[in-house]
């Protein structure tokens, strides 16, 4: 067979990514050869995939997670177009893993045919190789200002003949209005592919919701395929940092007598915020994202995460007083960690003719290095050790590189070729490697050192936390939720046979949209 389904949403962060992953895991457990697909993603959370030519390329982090739900290694075709916002007006275009251009509102119309052609070709290849492809939309299909050139939502469904379901987040309120309105703003041909709805993040008595589900069916002629409950344990591999609350996950009680408090600065252009998720899986480690300087003063560990706009975010740190708080934290000898863009901010100087084009600017001066930006982007998977004996794996995505370093500088990691990576000066640590804390041994050693430096003598690192196992439990939970709370027989009929015939048109439809 060559089945497919589009998971659309009433809004961004409605639950498309997790529902797609859950359906993928459910089908994978049934023995179906299934793959995920997102024609275009806009996110600074990305994963590195080794392409057929051996070079590293990028896809959205959510599609890498969905690949794991399918039991597959990530594939560049799973997310052929990735837009990485560098400002409110411009995004880097990553096409089949490679950064090829910068898109703005002014030139997107010219680029769009090429992007759509690439996305359609990637989907066709996947459909020829897999029994089923579960496609995730982007934003909302009812963004009628963008419908004419859409190749991600109903444009994709129309092109490939895919049935679609619409997921809505009831936790935001107004879920019935948003689902009805999404449908009613679509043209007749688009509406004919919308088979029904799924409600996400429900808390309470389902009996109280039932009359609304029945009325929604009456006014749209389409069923609700199920209601997914709120699940506190679903927080790994977030599509975007906006999906996070202030505290990541649900921190387990410490193994010792003290907690470790980790404050992560929520930069305006934060990228790969998923790096700190591994820390948050550890018992007794409370990880929170913040923009408050006062919260850094109380933290045991401060993290400057990755950034798509290192120089601009560094300037923001200074304007908000957060830079002073970071410097005060380091001056007190308390642990500080910079990852990728955050690592670059710790340098004495940053020379950037590429991203910000501001030339040379002073860094925070906490590490004896200088960083220079190169037009060629480093995208690769990395392997090495910490302190010579602890295996570490990670990946790199950056334009900046260390162009000068104090010869006596101690590296944080040792690469497989024997070269040093990152830096350690007292309690200040930095690395370009994303994903390093998913290596269990390295994470435990690092947190043990953080506790020592912070004076948390009562903190004891757990010896048995396995990040890969935590991710698998999350994916299995998604599969369980789909099996237990959705009409999987009806979903399978959609995947296998397409949208039901005779679905009614709900006026008014978008003016001018066929």
Active site residues: 340, 434
- Among residues 187, 188, 169, which one has the least CA distance to residue 178? 169
Cβ atoms 411, 79 nearer than 8 A: no
Instruction: Please list, in sequence order, all residues whose beta carbon lies within 8 angstroms of the beta carbon of residue 404, skipping any fewer than 6 positions away.
Output: 369, 370
Q: Hey, is 370 helix, strand or coil?
A: strand
Residues linked to residue 386 through DSSP beta bridges, in sequence order: 390
Q: Which two tokens stand for residue 424?
A: 């350690």
- Among residues 74, 89, 11, 71, which one has the least CA distance to residue 38? 74
Most distant CA pair in the chain: distance in Å? 74
Cβ atoms 365, 345 nearer than 8 A: no
CA distance 168 to 208: 17
Residues linked to residue 135 through DSSP beta bridges, in sequence order: 6, 37
Sign of CA dihedral 481, 484, 485, 488: positive
Residues linked to residue 48 through DSSP beta bridges, in sequence order: 58
* DSSP letters for 106-133: TTHHHHHHHHHHHHHHHHHHHHHHSSEE
Question: Torsion over CA of 60, 18, 476 and 48, rounded to 10 degrees?
Answer: 0
Sign of CA dihedral 70, 74, 79, 85: positive
* Phi/psi of residue 507, nearest 5 degrees: -70, 155
* Phi/psi of residue 365, nearest 5 degrees: 75, 25
CA distance 390 to 386: 5
């Amino acid at each position: 067979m060559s089945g497919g389904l589009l998971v659309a949403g009433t809004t961004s962060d409605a639950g498309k990514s997790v529902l797609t992953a859950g359906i993928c895991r459910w089908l994978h457990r049934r023995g179906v050869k299934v793959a995920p697909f997102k024609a275009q993603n806009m996110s600074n959370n990305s994963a590195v995939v080794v392409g057929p030519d051996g070079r590293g390329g990028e896809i959205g982090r959510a599609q890498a997670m969905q690949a794991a739900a399918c039991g597959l290694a990530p594939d560049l075709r799973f997310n052929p177009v990735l837009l990485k916002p560098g400002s409110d007006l411009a995004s880097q275009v990553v096409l089949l893993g490679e950064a090829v251009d910068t898109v703005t509102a002014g030139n997107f119309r010219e680029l769009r045919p090429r992007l759509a052609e690439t996305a359609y070709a990637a989907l066709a290849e996947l459909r020829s190789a897999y029994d089923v492809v579960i496609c995730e939309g982007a934003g909302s299909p009812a963004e009628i200002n963008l419908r004419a050139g859409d190749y991600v939502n109903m444009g994709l469904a129309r092109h490939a003949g895919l049935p679609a379901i619409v997921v809505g987040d009831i936790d935001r309120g107004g879920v019935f209005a948003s689902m009805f309105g999404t449908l009613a703003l679509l043209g007749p041909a688009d509406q004919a592919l919308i088979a029904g709805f799924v409600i996400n993040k429900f808390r309470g008595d389902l009996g109280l919701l039932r009359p609304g589900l029945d009325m929604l069916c009456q006014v749209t002629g389409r069923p609700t395929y199920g209601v997914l409950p709120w699940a506190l344990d679903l927080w790994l591999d977030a599509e975007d940092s906006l999906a996070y609350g202030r505290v990541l996950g649900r921190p387990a009680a410490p193994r010792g007598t003290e907690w470790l408090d980790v404050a992560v600065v929520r930069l305006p252009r934060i990228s790969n915020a998923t790096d700190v998720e591994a820390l948050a899986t550890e018992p007794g480690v409370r990880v929170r994202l913040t923009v408050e300087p006062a919260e850094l003063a109380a933290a045991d560990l401060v993290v400057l995460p990755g950034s798509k706009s290192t120089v601009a975010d560094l300037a923001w740190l200074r304007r908000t007083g957060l830079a002073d708080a970071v410097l005060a934290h380091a001056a007190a000898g308390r642990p500080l960690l910079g990852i990728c863009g955050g690592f670059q901010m710790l340098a004495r100087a940053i020379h950037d003719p590429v991203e910000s084009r501001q030339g040379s600017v002073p860094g925070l001066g906490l590490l004896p290095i200088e960083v220079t930006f190169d037009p060629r982007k480093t995208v690769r998977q990395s392997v090495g050790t910490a302190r010579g004996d602890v295996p570490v794996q990670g990946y790199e995505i950056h334009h900046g590189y260390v162009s000068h370093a104090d010869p006596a500088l101690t590296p944080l990691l040792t690469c497989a070729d024997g070269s040093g990576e990152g830096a350690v000066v007292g309690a200040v640590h930095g690395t370009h490697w994303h994903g390093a804390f998913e290596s269990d041994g390295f994470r435990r050693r690092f947190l043990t050192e953080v506790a020592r430096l912070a004076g948390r003598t009562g903190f004891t690192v757990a010896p048995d936390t396995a990040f890969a196992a935590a991710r698998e439990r999350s994916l299995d939970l998604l599969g369980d939720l789909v099996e237990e709370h959705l009409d999987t027989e009806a979903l399978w009929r959609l995947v296998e046979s397409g949208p039901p015939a005779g679905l009614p048109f709900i006026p008014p439809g978008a003016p001018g949209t066929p």
